[in-house]
Amino acid sequence: MSASPDNTELPKLTIRSHHKDSGKEITFDAPILNGGMGVGVTGPELAAAVTREGGGGVLTGIVLGYPFQSILSKYLDKKPYEANLLALQEWIHDAKEKANGGFVGVNLMVAVHDFKELAYTSAKSGVDLIVAGAGLPMALPEVVSKFPDTMIAPIISSVKAARVMVKRWVSKGRPPDAIVFESVHHSGGHQGASVEEIMSGANQPQEVIGGVRELLDKQGLTDVPVISAGGVWDKNDILKHLSWGAGGVQMASRFLLTNEAGAEFGGISVFKKLYMENKKPAILERSPAGLPGRAIETPFSSRFAFSNIAMKNEPHSCPFVCLVSCDKKASIYCILDHLTAALKDNYEEGLFFAGSNIGNVDAIKEVLSVKELMMRLISGEPASTTSNAAAV
Please give the residue ranges that form the binding site for ligand FMN (CB under 6 A): 35-38, 41, 60, 62, 107, 109, 133-134, 155, 182, 186-189, 229-232, 250-253, 256, 353-355, 357
Find the shortest distance in angstroms from Cβ 73 to ligand FMN: 25
Find the shortest distance in angstroms from Cβ 155 to ligand FMN: 6
Q: Are strands 129-133 and 293-295 parallel, antiparallel or unpaired?
A: unpaired
Residue (of 20, 16, 31) closest to 235 by Cα position: 31
How far is it, in rounded angstroms, from Cα 31 to Cα 236?
13
Residue (of 274, 198, 266) closest to 230 by Cα position: 198
In this complex, which beta carbon is closest to ligand FMN, that of residue 246 or of residue 315?
A: 246
How far is it, in rounded angstroms, from Cα 363 to Cα 385?
11
**Residue type for 356, please?**
S
The residues, ordered by sequence, that sit 6+ positions from 219 with a Cβ below 8 Å of its Cβ are 166, 170, 175
How far is it, in rounded angstroms, from Cα 152 to Cα 143?
11
In this complex, which beta carbon is closest to ligand FMN, that of residue 313 or of residue 348?
A: 348
In this complex, which beta carbon is closest to ligand FMN, that of residue 84 or of residue 253?
A: 253
**Residue 139's CB: how many other CB atoms inside 10 A?**
14
In this complex, which beta carbon is closest to ligand FMN, that of residue 159 or of residue 229?
A: 229
Find the shortest distance in angstroms from Cβ 20 to ligand FMN: 27
In this complex, which beta carbon is closest to ligand FMN, that of residue 148 or of residue 347?
A: 347
In this complex, which beta carbon is closest to ligand FMN, that of residue 133 or of residue 141?
A: 133
Find the shortest distance in angstroms from Cβ 263 to ligand FMN: 15
Side-chain half-sphere CA neighbours of 164 within 13 A: 12
Find the shortest distance in angstroms from Cβ 23 to ligand FMN: 28
Q: In a 3-state reduction of DSSP, which class is residue 57?
A: coil
Find the shortest distance in angstroms from Cβ 1 to ligand FMN: 12
